[in-house]
Structure 1
Amino acid sequence: MLLILDLVYIAVLKPDWDTLATGRCPKSLPIEDYERARQGNRKLARLRWQPVGLSQMSKRLQQAVVAAEDARFHQHAGVDFAALGDAIAYAKEKGEVGFGASTISQQTIKNLVVGDSRTPWRKWHEMILALWMEQNLSKQRILSLYLNVAELGEGIYGAEAAAQAYWRVSANDLSESQAIEMAATLPSPKKHNPLTRTETFLRRVEKIRGHMNQFGWLDN
């Protein structure tokens, strides 16, 4: 009975897929939260968000983000069950959560629909809706939505805003190195980014570069 009620809840929670597939990229839940927070605290950095189409983002950026966040993005159907199994096995062996297994599709659903509450139910809803979304949206559209709402710094959301903020170029004009650095910013954008250039950030840059080289995605 509880499962049936939850499935009904998911059906109510889901967005209009047709609108999400073709309409303007909507504001994410974190963007809306940031706007509300800034209304009460003007010391926060101004919101930077400028959604653009995937064709207006460099191919290298798209590849770098896939290499960094979801290497099997183009193979799975919304949930990477192999990566999920690895994460569960690691947690059982080490007694701790060592790494996440959320796909780009799941992260997109988290940002646009379910939010970031730390509950098992949220993760379940995220997975179901990610699988459902992949039946209704193309991979290109999902990647576009993700790149347009991902947090990439204090008050910075989306690839175009980040490209302008860090390098004063458009997302379409990012160099290979800049694209990799933007992808390396995703896990902890306020702490590890192209301005702070922490050791963690630089290690991640090299890790992404190595993955892209393995995939044959680098110019050299």
Structure 2
Amino acid sequence: MWKLVKKLFLFLILANILFVIFGIFFNPPITFTQIGGLVKYGKLERDYISYDDMGGNIKKAVIASEDQLFFTHNGFDYKQIEKAMKKNDKKGKVVRGGSTISQQTAKNVFLWQGRSWIRKGLEVIYTFIIEKIWGKDVILERYLNSIEMGQGVFGIEAASQYYYNKPAKDLTKSEAAWIATVLPNPKKYDPKNPTPYLRKKHGWIMRQMNNIVLK
């Protein structure tokens, strides 16, 4: 029995190593989140594109919205994590997340949705690994290709076609900002039917985009 457990453990380690290396060159064939979307909505709209084909506006928009220190941190924004913890403790529930784009990428590519300590611990490990092995451009490309951006819609190219009938590289600054605006809850929010809160956030993202310099 112990030998079987040991072999299984070694197999899982090797499989994870190969998966991480695979991720340097290729987008994930499918993710747990995408499977969930397919089951729930009966569709999987997804079109992986290269980093260069994404265009600058959407990169600036999501960095401005989600993680303005993306190019300078080591995968974790400790100040944001501290702020999130304090706000959540004050409210008595999770009302704010402190995850970086790197952490979200680790979760979206390798793991599943949820707030368990096991998932969060694995997220930390994967975030550390991809920061060391993949680098920022690969992380941002995987993030923009795998993130959920609507009901059964994944990745920036599919989202751009779904909302604006155009390639991601042709998104205007405002259009890119609208997509970034709904990212916290893309299954609920709609950039074509924004609430006053979303309009305010869209304007904030537009202003913040002016401060983002792509590497």
Mapped partners of 2:79, 2:186: distance in 1: 27
Unaligned runs of 5+ in 2: 1-8
Aligned to 1:26: 29
Shift of 1:62: 0.2
Q: Match of 1:51, as an amino acid?
A: Y
**Partner SS state of residue 68, structure 2:** coil
The yes-or-no answer on 1:50 pairing with 2:73 is no
Provide, for residues 62-107 of structure 1, a one-character-per-residue CA deviation record: whole Å limited to 9, x for no partner: 0110010111111111111221122223334444433100111111
> Is 1:192–1:200's contact at 8 Å kept on the other side of the alignment?
no
* CA distances 1:19-58 after superposition (whole Å, capped 9, x unpaired): 10012443221112223x16xxxxx463210000010111
- More divergent stretch after superposition (89-98 vs 58-67): 89-98
For the residues of structure 2 that align with 1:68 and 1:105, how far apart are their CA atoms?
A: 14
AA at the equivalent of 2:191: P
**Structure 2 counterpart SS, 1:197:** coil
1: CA distance, partners of 2:165 / 2:71? 30
Q: Which residue of 1 aligns with 2:85?
A: 88
- Letter in structure 2 aligned against 1:32: I
Q: Greater shift after overlay, 60-69 or 22-31? A: 22-31
Give structure 1 stretches of 5+ with no counterpart. Answer: 1-7, 39-43
In structure 2, distance between residues paired with 1:52 and 1:216:
22
Cα 1:190–1:94 shift into 2, 3 Å:
closer
Q: Secondary structure at the match of 1:89?
A: helix
Task: Kindly provide the amino acid, as one letter, of the partner of residue 188 in structure 1.
Answer: N
Deviation at 1:12, TM superposition (A): 6.5
Aligned residues: 204
Q: Is the 8 A contact 2:84 2:97 kept in 1?
A: yes
Instruction: Find the aligned partners of 2:26 and 2:212 in 1 and give their Cα distance.
Output: 33
Letter aligned with residue 57 of structure 2: R
The residue aligned with 1:127 is 124
Aligned equivalent of 2:69: 72
Query: Which residue is equivalent to 1:199?
Result: 196
Q: Secondary structure at the match of 2:185?
A: coil
Question: 1:14–1:129: 8 Å Cα contact kept in structure 2?
Answer: no
Deviations 1:112-151 (A, max 9, x none): 1121132122112111210111110020110000100111
The aligned residue for residue 162 of structure 2 is 165
SS of match in other structure, 2:95: coil
The answer to which of 25-34 and 55-64 deviates more is 25-34
Distance 1:183 1:77 in 2: 23
The answer on whether the counterparts of 1:193 and 1:201 sit within 8 Å (CA) in structure 2 is: no
Q: Give the direction of change, closer, same or farther, for the CA distance of 1:181–1:80 in structure 2 (3 Å limit).
A: same
